[in-house]
A = this chain, B = another copy of it.
Amino acid sequence: MTPAASLDRLFSPRAVAVVGASANVDSAGHDYVRALREFGFTGAVHPVNPRADEIAGYRASPDLRAIGAPVDLVICCIPAEGAPAVVDACGAIGAPFLHLFTGRLSETGEAAAAALEDEIARRARASGVRLLGPNGLGVYHPAARIAFRPDLPRAAGGLALLSQSGNNAVEAVLRGAARGLRFGKVASYGNGLDLTPAELLAHLADDPATEAIGAYVEGVADGRAFFESLRRAATRKPVIVYKAGRSAAGARAAASHTAALAGEAAVWSGMLRQAGAIEARTQEQLLDLLTAASLLARPRGRRAAVAGGGGGRGVQSADACAEAGLALPPLPASVRARVAERAPALADWVGNPVDQSILAGSGLSANGLLADMAASGAYDLAIANVGEEWFLGRPRAEERLRRACARLREAANAAPVPVAVVLGATEAPEAWQRALIDSVRAEFVEAGLAVFPTVERAAFALGALAPRERAP
């Protein structure tokens, strides 16, 4: 196994060649080249195409050997039959990394394709070329100005992602961006023929720029190595694993997608827990957990303060916290005294969760109480329900919702404990209402806050990140 540190040139190549580069703007062979240009890649870019002089503004070479300059990463987009020769050429020019976007190999279930994949692996071992893929989208690393799609965000961050599926990686990056997640190193590794998730994880565990790691995994060939790598990574930073292909039907789909051997769901859950990783059971949970890991300080305990929304939302919130293993201690004496001072009739009624609707006319607000609770020392984390539906029905709805959200942003940013904001999905009857919700969500994200569309998702993510033992 190559030492993990030596994957640096895969994620941060100084020169990239794209075999199968194309002038067809609707092909992968074009996208990889164009992404390098549009991201402002500062190294050399070598489109390889025997029938073109120039692609996306770069001079094309007829084949890898004609480049005549060092190449750290070769990206291969030609059909599978041509891949073994590309492996050989990488060896000949001394390129250390080959990413095979090329698919239609073992995942097709055909014996001839599987044999071809074996041949690719054999030649790579013989020539010392390390392979990423086949059947994967490859590398997105905005700090190094490399991306597997031109439309991905330019801003770089500390989240890493390993993904057996290319589409799931794209989805995580795009949807994550809308929630304020900034990714650093992302690798879509497809069939994982040579570079395994275990090796990639080892690299990310050691990488000082990586603060938290997410993974979408369908199956691994070497479970022991994966477990060891995961355990080591999880001692250093949060590692969140979404294991798909849990069911028999899912395992069949995984085999035809990335030739993965999916393994048993219960075994995986136990293994993840034992390794100290956090398990996500859906793509949505993967993003929710990355959101919490990336944007919230890790809670010091499991005592939750919840405020905002009406009484029904309060009951929901309490159930959600209980089901996420979070405690809901009552208001401490200091906060209760403050309530008694301003609104004596409420002192024995207001609880945790704080029901916003009973505060009307009292001079107390849910945001104010949330701030008091967060500062009281009685809680380790807080959840703030915006309760936007109430505002939508009031006069001057937009002005009031924006003002309440501005106050919540201040309270959340000043709080000494992590605060998750619950603002619903963009679902409202009128287009202006949806645009307003979209806009206030963007303002929370801009302020660096973690926003969740439901209280259940907020409680789940905080519960998963909080220490397992209740604080004393």
Q: How far is the CA of A456 from the CA of B282 in the complex (A)?
A: 8
Q: Are B26 and A395 in contact (CB under 8 A)?
A: yes
Q: Are A425 and B311 in contact (CB under 8 A)?
A: no
Q: How far is the CA of A104 from the CA of B343 in the complex (A)?
A: 14
Taking CB atoms, residues of chain B closer than 8 Å to A257 are 311-312, 314-315, 355
Nearest chain-B residue to A355 (Cβ)? B257
CB distance from A215 to the nearest CB of B (A): 12
Taking CB atoms, residues of chain B closer than 8 Å to A393 are 31, 149-151, 170
A424 interface contact, C-beta 8 A: yes
Q: Are B319 and A427 in contact (CB under 8 A)?
A: no
Q: How far is the CA of A433 from the CA of B104 in the complex (A)?
A: 31
Q: Are A174 and B428 in contact (CB under 8 A)?
A: yes
Q: Max chain B CB contacts within 10 Å: which of A358, A389, A424?
A: A389
Give the size category of A's interface with B. 35 or more
Interface of A is mostly: helix
Q: Max chain B CB contacts within 10 Å: which of A25, A109, A249, A351?
A: A249
CB distance from A76 to the nearest CB of B (A): 17
Q: With contacts A249-B328, A355-B256, A424-B175 known, is A166 near B310, CB below 8 A?
A: yes
Complex partner residue of A175 from B110, B150, B322, B427, CB under 8 angstroms: B427
Q: Are A282 and B454 in contact (CB under 8 A)?
A: yes
Nearest chain-B residue to A314 (Cβ)? B253
Q: Are A310 and B351 in contact (CB under 8 A)?
A: no
A84 interface contact, C-beta 8 A: no
Q: How far is the CA of A253 from the CA of B244 in the complex (A)?
A: 36
CB distance from A293 to the nearest CB of B (A): 18
Q: With contacts A257-B315, A315-B244, A316-B282 known, is A429 near B178, CB below 8 A?
A: yes
Taking CB atoms, residues of chain B closer than 8 Å to A246 are 319, 322-323
User: Residues of A with Cβ closer than 8 Å to B?
Assistant: 25-26, 31, 104, 107-110, 149-151, 153, 163-168, 170-171, 174-175, 177-179, 216, 218, 244-250, 252-254, 256-258, 282-284, 309-319, 321-323, 328, 345, 348-349, 351, 353, 355, 357-358, 387, 389-390, 392-395, 424-429, 431, 433-434, 438, 442, 453-454, 456
A to B CB contacts below 8 Å, 22 in the list: A110-B349, A150-B393, A151-B392, A163-B312, A166-B310, A167-B312, A168-B310, A174-B429, A175-B424, A178-B434, A218-B315, A244-B315, A247-B319, A249-B318, A249-B328, A252-B351, A253-B314, A253-B315, A257-B312, A257-B314, A282-B454, A284-B456
